Amino acid sequence: MTDIAFEIVDVRAMEILDSRGQPTLEVQVTLDGGSRGRAGVPSGASTGEKEAHELRDEDPGRYGGRGVLKAAEAVNGEIADALAGVDVRRQRAVDDILIQLDGTDSKSRLGANAVLGASLAAAYAAAAASRTPLYRYLGGVMANVLPVPLMNVLNGGQHAANNIEVQEFMIVPAAADSFAEALRWGAEIYAALGGELSAGGYSSSVGDEGGYAPNLHSEEEALQFLCSAIRKAGLQPGRQVWLALDVAANDLRCGGAYRLRQRDVSAGELVNTYETWCGDYPIISIEDGLAEDDWSGWKLLTDRLGGRVQLVGDDLFVTSAELLRRGQREGAANAILIKPNQIGTVSETLHTMSTAARLNYSACVSHRSGETSDTFISDLAVAARCGQIKSGAPCRTDRVVKYNRLLRIEKSLDSAAEFAGLQAFMLE
């Protein structure tokens, strides 16, 4: 039965700025009953080859070619026409219309930014018209698990202008009793780390995801800094707070090998290095330890470390259920990173997350390095009960809004809230 209150009457997009000062889309869906949903679209810097494709104007006279006026036009024209009259609660139907209208595998005709913006805004509008918080609208009465935050407190790679090649060094306060406590631990460790870096004569300027971006002598020095900051904050590394890395190894790829610290290394040598780091430091998770085209390297890594470390495919899987199934067949990775803009619609994102749960892969919902004040991923993490989220350091509003949204959700769930804790990593 169609209820007029839920019928889409308008879809509008405009060009706004993201956290790097680059243009991105904001999309608003309006329903016949007057309810609205509004979403901001994120954008990555270290992207996977098979990600859905964001449409940029390529007009060198505006924003160095990175304008999104064409994508906005696609929303205001074709997408608005195609979605007019559709019941917004039928998210799968909304998303199928978008997918078919675009007609390409990579969503490159209308732009994955246009498609995702419309899909997210539809979900927000449906929740608003249902007078239900977004996490409960998406996840139902079982949407009560607050994720462990993986907080990127040291930035390198493409996210900072320093000499650290591993892109992200994260702290994981998994033994906290609640999300609020985990966030407090993270913020206190972050503050301690800033103090330690300054005391050591290092820069405490920050990178794209709010983590510090000093020049360091080695990856091991970064790991040592993290452990000493955890202790300085009165917490125990490996008992209360763990470490996680995003190597973003696509960016280290050099021919058939990898280049780390001015040395060519094979996949096998890289795996040896990770094994050493995991022996010396309480590392619970390694993301993109190898490049997306290196399936044999991924298998080796998974055979060697998969029993005791979460191995996350980001560029490897690009939030695609199909690539995840290949990973499972080939024994590559044991976890998946979930970024809605890699796949392009809410329904496909949820499908990939349920596929992961079925295949026994853990899942971590993630921001992009270019973000807006949108907090969809916070609600998504609770809705899907995946138990993990990464949204950068507890610094820069584009990062902190996601964590603050989770604080609010935890508070409103009250005694029904459960903190995912160490279990989310599905180790042991």
Task: Lay out the site mask for ligand PGA across 367-406 (x = CB under 6 A, - = otherwise).
Answer: -xx-------------------------------------
**Residue 165 binds ligand PGA (CB under 6 A):** no
Q: Does the annotation count 339 as an active-site position? A: yes
* Partner that binds at residue 352, options Zn ion, ligand PGA, none, CB closer than 5 to 8 Å by kind: none
Whole-angstrom distance, CA of residue 196 vs CA of residue 229: 7
- Closest to 232 measured CA to CA, from 286, 268, 196: 196
Which residue's CB is nearer to ligand PGA, number 143 or number 316? 316
- Closest to 335 measured CA to CA, from 360, 355, 303: 360
Which of 209, 287, 371, 410 is an active site residue? 209
**Residue 366 binds ligand PGA (CB under 6 A):** yes
The helix or strand, by DSSP H or E, that contains position 146, with its residue range, turns out to be: strand 145-146
Task: Lay out the site mask for ligand PGA across 72-101 (x = CB under 6 A, - = otherwise).
Answer: ------------------------------
**Residue 246 binds ligand PGA (CB under 6 A):** yes
Which residue's CB is nearer to Zn ion, number 246 or number 410? 246
Q: Does the annotation count 107 as an active-site position? A: no
> In this chain, which stretch among 59-67, 85-93, 323-331, 365-373 interacts with ligand PGA, using CB under 6 A?
365-373
Contact 324, 336 (CB under 8 A): yes
Contact 306, 285 (CB under 8 A): no
Contact 58, 117 (CB under 8 A): no
Find the residue with minimal CB distance to ligand PGA.
Answer: 44
Whole-angstrom distance, CA of residue 16 vs CA of residue 221: 39
**Residue 294 binds Zn ion (CB under 5 A):** no
Contact 102, 109 (CB under 8 A): yes
b/e sequence 403-417, b meaning 16+ C-beta within 10 Å: bebbbebbeebeeeb
**Residue 45 binds ligand PGA (CB under 6 A):** yes
Whole-angstrom distance, CA of residue 339 vs CA of residue 343: 7
**DSSP code per residue over 378-393:** HHHHHHHT--EEE---
**Residue 314 binds ligand PGA (CB under 6 A):** yes
The nearest distance, CB 157 to ligand PGA, in angstroms, is 8
> In this chain, which stretch among 33-41, 125-133, 238-246, 276-284 interacts with Zn ion, using CB under 5 A?
238-246
- Closest to 406 measured CA to CA, from 87, 184, 204, 203: 184
- Per CB under 5 A, the list member of 18, 219, 314, 410 interacting with Zn ion is 314
**Residue 44 binds ligand PGA (CB under 6 A):** yes
**Residue 246 binds Zn ion (CB under 5 A):** yes
* Partner that binds at residue 44, options ligand PGA, Zn ion, none, CB closer than 5 to 8 Å by kind: ligand PGA
The distance from CA 33 to its chain's CA centroid, rounded to whole angstroms, is 33
* Partner that binds at residue 51, options ligand PGA, Zn ion, none, CB closer than 5 to 8 Å by kind: none
At position 234, the amino acid (one-letter code) is: G
Which residue matches tokens 């050591």? 200
Which of 107, 299, 339, 402 is an active site residue? 339
Task: Please give the structure tokens belonging to residue 270.
Answer: 């890289």
Return residues touching ligand PGA (CB under 6 A): 44-47, 246, 248, 314, 366, 368-369
Return residues touching Zn ion (CB under 5 A): 246, 287, 314
As annotated, the active-site residues are 209, 339
